[in-house]
Structure formats: C-alpha cells, structure tokens
Homo-oligomer: A and B are copies of this chain.
Amino acid sequence: MLFHVRMTVNLDPALPAEEVADILSREKAYSQQLQASGKWRHIWRIAGAYANFSVFDVADNAELHAILSGLPLFKYMQIEVAPLVRHPSSIRDDDS
C-alpha cells in the first residue's frame, strides 16, 4: 500500500555541528536500510529546500507510522502524509 510523504527538516542553526552530523549519519543509515527492504520506494530531494518527497510501500497505516516516527530526524521535521491509490490512467502493472 503506497503513501506519499513530504518531509521538511527544520534544524535549529544553533545545534552543534557534531550533533547534527550524528543525527544525519543515523538518518542516512535508517533510510538506506528501508530503501533496501523495498519499503521506502522513492526519495527525492526538492531543489533548493531541505526537504524531500518520498513514497512508501507498507502493509498498513501502523507500519507507516512506525517507520516515520522512528526517523532520527523525526522531532525536527514537519511531515505531510497522503494515502495513494492506483490512478485510473496508469499504464503500469506495478504502480510503485
């Protein structure tokens, strides 16, 4: 089941550089593990912004929430979720 997610990161500019580096390192590992598993199907950086558009393929709402609330950056992000369905004009067998 697919969900569209926009994540916008708001890091306090006063946060120590090492702390930021640590959070970002953990965030990257977390994201890549989920991409490798197929659950985090797409992630694109939005040009000019500290933000991304992502598409998740999960079993249900609960799995989506577990993934998002487990993000190392979760408490520094604004997150918008939209459930997706197959578009009637889509020509693909697998819409993900």
Contact surface of A with B, Cβ cutoff 8 Å? 1-5, 11-14, 27-28, 31-32, 35-36, 42-50, 52-53, 55, 60-62, 64-65, 68-69, 75-76, 79-92, 95
Give the residues in chain B near A60, CB-CB below 8 Å: 1, 60
Copies of this protein chain in the complex: 10
Closest Cβ neighbor of A79 among chain B residues: B48
Question: Contact between B44 and A76 (Cβ–Cβ < 8 Å)?
Answer: no
**Contact status A61-B47, CB under 8 Å:** yes
Contacting pair B85 A44 (CB below 8 A): yes
Q: For chain A, what secondary structure do more than half of its interface residues adopt (helix, strand, loop), or is it mixed?
A: mixed
C-alpha spacing A90/B55, complex, angstroms: 12
List 7 contacting pairs A-B, 8 Å CB cutoff, sorted by A: A13-B76, A35-B91, A44-B86, A45-B84, A47-B64, A47-B65, A61-B83
| Bound: A56/B7 CA distance, A | 20
Contact of A89 (CB < 8 Å), options: B28, B81, B87: B28
